[in-house]
Amino acid sequence: MKKNLIYYFTLLVFFSYNYDSIAQSQDRNNSLVLNKATQKQLKEYDSFFVENHKRHINELVELIAIPTMSMQPENKPELKKAADLLKDMLHTIGMENTEVYFTNELPVVTATYTRHKRQPTILFYGHFDVQPVNKERWKSDPFSAEIRDERLYGRGATDDKGPIIALISAIEGLIKVDGNLPVNIKLLLDGGEEMGSPHLPIWLASNQDWLSDIDFGVNVDAMMNNDNQGMMWKGLRGAADLEVTITSANTDLHSGIYGGVAPNAALAASKVIASLWNKDGSIAIKGFYDGLRQYSEKERKEIAAVVDQDQQAKDLKKFGIDQWIGEREYSFYERPWIRTSVDITGFKAGYTQGKASIIPHTAWFRMLARTGPDHDPKEVLEMLKKHVKDSLPWGLKVDFKESVMGTAPVFDESDLGFRIGKQVLTDFFGTPPIILYIGGTVPALSSIPDGGGPNLVSVGFQRGDENFHADNEYMRIESFKKGQRIYVNLLHAFVNQLNE
């Protein structure tokens, strides 16, 4: 549900840091001192990762081989198979209380390691379900991972099975080398993120005790900017889905007998859809944008100051598009980052396998709203439903099916968890991470805090060109290695960082 448009936002904040005799990292401007592994530990972790690299990659290949396409009902057994595999992996490396829970036929895998009375507990989130595939458009079998040019190709390789295995192997390395973990952790691995995690709020509401002692959160379904710089998300958009079914009669009709007198459901749906947008592509519903957060001129200037001004032209050429659409008073970058968009993501009506002389009696279409900060997805759905009803011609009937996948989270850069993640990435790469908004959605980033858990800082190693949600998805092997070491450093950095 995320990362459809990924570009850069906000200022780069440089940190001043040093290492003292007990291997600490310090952000002097904010009085943040972080624990670091010793050089001896780092060498031993590195040796472990090198010695076990082939096995860890094979574990990822095994997970990719399971077609965990959550939005396809026939794949429900595959979700269970993958959940059980992850549970076994976590148990084998030394995690405790490994469990698989099913809510509305979608799984979550949980595990804990809570042996430290005076250390914080960190929640790690990732998802192991994947997008559907069109096998004909892949150069290799999407569920039989293949390594070419130091890139591992397969569905879920980078989104999000690769990061999950990198995290699990990092935890394993810490336990093998040190005999324990430096802090307490809990893992929550989601089997339904690609369809909006509709089960997750229900599971969270039923497991408040499991959440109650968590101090920080980390989302591994996240990105890095390039080989030499990390990335953190300042904010994402929320999402809401609306299916619309329009009915004009109780059966399809003969177009020779009833053409010209019978209402056509496909035509009615087309008229409704056309009425939703202005000529420039902005939403035509009066007051539609009223609920959105209004960004200051200063904030908008900061966006304009750091973006790639050539990206618009590059992407027009890349995708064969004639022109961009949308709210003209907002920039090419602001529209997908901080504004709400609505798209038609599917349309079905009539007979499409050949010629048929009919008047369709039903038409179906799906709308997906990506909601900006402070824009309530439920209110957006109500506005869309009202507009459909008001613009529906000829007294036709309409039915709706709706779901909310999360609100738009915006993260406070002064939050301790955010600062820790930023400093770890700064230390690892030698330069601060880039901080940006993205136009996609990770439902857990709003549902976990709303359900009583912590805010989640996003620290990962996916790259924007790795074809997630597209054909020939891949993961850079070198990024996987970086991820293992970043997660080891991150776990050390949380030592003694209890919020008082």
Q: What's the pLDDT score for residue 1?
A: 56
**pLDDT of 247-271, one tens digit each?**
999 999 999 999 999 999 999 999 9
Q: What's the pLDDT score for residue 4?
A: 44
Backbone dihedral region for residue 469 (phi beyond 0: left; psi -120 to 50: alpha; all else: beta) = left
Task: State mean pLDDT over 215-234.
Answer: 96
Q: What's the pLDDT score for residue 127?
A: 98
Full DSSP string of 69-134:
-TTSGGGHHHHHHHHHHHHHHHHHHT-EEEEEEEETTEEEEEEEE---TTS-EEEEEEE-------
Which one is predicted more confidently, 286 or 26?
286
**Does the structure show a pLDDT above 70 at 21?**
no
**Strands lying side by side in the sheet with 474-476:** 146-148, 151-153, 474-476
Q: Which CATH number is 238-292+340-406's, of 3.40.630.40, 3.30.360.10, 3.40.50.300, 3.30.70.360? A: 3.30.70.360
Q: What's the pLDDT score for residue 25?
A: 62
User: Residue 361 is which amino acid?
Assistant: H
Reported as type and span, the H/E element at residue 26 is strand 24-27
Task: State mean pLDDT over 349-375.
Answer: 96
CATH number of the 24-236+409-493 domain: 3.40.630.10
**Does the structure show a pLDDT above 70 at 499?**
no
- Residue 216 CA to residue 123 CA, distance in Å, equals 6
**Does the structure show a pLDDT above 90 at 375?**
yes
Q: What's the pLDDT score for residue 29?
A: 53
Which one is predicted more confidently, 489 or 464?
489
Band (157; pLDDT cuts 50, 70, 90): very high
Q: What's the pLDDT score for residue 22?
A: 36
**Does the structure show a pLDDT above 80 at 30?**
no
276: CB partners within 8 A, 6+ apart:
283, 284, 285, 342, 384, 387
Q: What's the pLDDT score for residue 159?
A: 96
Q: What's the pLDDT score for residue 15?
A: 28
What is the chain's Cα-based Rg?
24
The ranges assigned to domains in the chain are 24-236+409-493, 238-292+340-406
Band (302; pLDDT cuts 50, 70, 90): confident
pTM of the model: 0.90
414: closest CA among 460, 371, 455, 452? Answer: 455
**Does the structure show a pLDDT above 80 at 417?**
yes
**pLDDT of 92-102, one tens digit each?**
999 999 999 99
- Report the percent of the chain where pLDDT is more than 90: 88
**pLDDT of 92-151, one tens digit each?**
999 999 999 999 999 999 999 999 999 999 999 999 999 999 999 999 999 999 999 999
Q: What's the pLDDT score for residue 51?
A: 98
Band (310; pLDDT cuts 50, 70, 90): confident
Band (14; pLDDT cuts 50, 70, 90): very low
**Does the structure show a pLDDT above 50 at 291?**
yes
**Does the structure show a pLDDT above 60 at 161?**
yes
**pLDDT of 206-223, one tens digit each?**
999 999 999 999 999 999
Band (13; pLDDT cuts 50, 70, 90): very low
